Amino acid sequence: MAIDAKNLRVDYQADELLETDAPDQPFPLFDRWFKEAQDSDCPEPNAMIVATVNRDGHPAARVVLLKEVNDRGFVFYTNYDSRKGREIDAHPHVALVFNWLELQRQVRIEGRVERLDEETSTAYFQSRPKKSQIGAWASPQSDVIPDREFLEQRKEALEAEYRDVEVLPKPDNWGGYVVVPEMIEFWQGRSSRLHDRLAYLRPEGDAAGPWKRERLAP
């Protein structure tokens, strides 16, 4: 197989990102960009890449859905026994990427990860559609399974068991994380590959520390 992508290029001219338009804090800018992504043709603006590393420093990345942004940071939910869950336990720092191609924008986030409390995770789990609750129980996420039929049989057994129940209990190995950011970079595509990059940084481990804003060369 051979793919030649050397001549695939797009000249970005949709917008600009200047210091005069950027607030001193990153969250208001993220809020503005996220809402603009929602109002655009972005199919899933809350889709983000979550990158982790294992104990040996080997990286892995996957797309996960953002579920909330609060005063602490960026919230998502998953199976704690999945590969990402195990790697977060081993090395509780991750990188996130939001890629809004329709707006020629990207946001990168680096930070440490904390588990949400059980009450919060349970409340979210039980707010999900019943089929999603059953799916969380049915899938031993990241484990090797024999075939698709294995999942279908587990799903059917759970549907029968909880036929008359609308709200399932939350699995013990399922819950939420909050990524407490230490760096947030906003990238706006510009012409001639001279893109705008504004990064907000604060001292590592200081969730309440002041943000410092810097312009980075593209």
Q: Which domains are seen in the chain, by residue range? A: 26-128+172-215 (2.30.110.10)
Task: List helix spans (H) across 79-210.
Answer: 83-90, 118-125, 130-138, 148-161
84 is in an annotated binding site: yes
86 is in an annotated binding site: no
Lowest mean per-residue pLDDT among 3-12, 71-80, 98-107? 3-12
Catalytic residue numbers, as ranges? 193
Q: What is the mean pLDDT of the chain?
A: 95
CB 61 within 8 A of CB 80: no
80 is in an annotated binding site: no
Residue 204 has pLDDT above 80, yes or no: no
pLDDT tens digits, 24-44: 999 999 999 999 999 998 999
105 is in an annotated binding site: no
**DSSP string over 117-150:** PHHHHHHHHTTS-HHHHHHHHH--TTS--S-HHH
In the chain, the percentage of residues whose pLDDT exceeds 70 is 99
CB 30 within 8 A of CB 45: no
What confidence score (pLDDT) does residue 140 get? Answer: 86
Give 128: exposed, middle or buried? Use CB within 10 Å, 0-12, 13-18, 19+. Answer: middle
12 is in an annotated binding site: yes
Q: For residue 65, what are the β-bridge partners?
A: 47
What confidence score (pLDDT) does residue 205 get? Answer: 63
100 is in an annotated binding site: no
Backbone angles phi, psi at 61, to 5 degrees: -140, 150
Residue 215 has pLDDT above 90, yes or no: yes
179 is in an annotated binding site: no
Residue 206 has pLDDT above 80, yes or no: no
| Dihedral angle, C-alpha 33, 36, 42, 43, nearest 10 ° | 100
**DSSP string over 17-53:** --GGGS-SSHHHHHHHHHHHHHHTT-S-TTEEEEEEE
Assessment of whether the complete model's pTM goes beyond 0.85: yes
Taken in order 3, 53, 87, 25, is the CA torsion positive or negative? negative
What confidence score (pLDDT) does residue 81 get? Answer: 96
pLDDT tens digits, 125-179: 999 999 999 999 998 888 888 999 999 999 999 899 999 989 999 999 999 999 9
62 is in an annotated binding site: yes
Helix (H), strand (E) at residue 212: strand 212-215
Residue 6 has pLDDT above 90, yes or no: no
Among 74, 79, 82, smallest CA distance to 114 is for 74
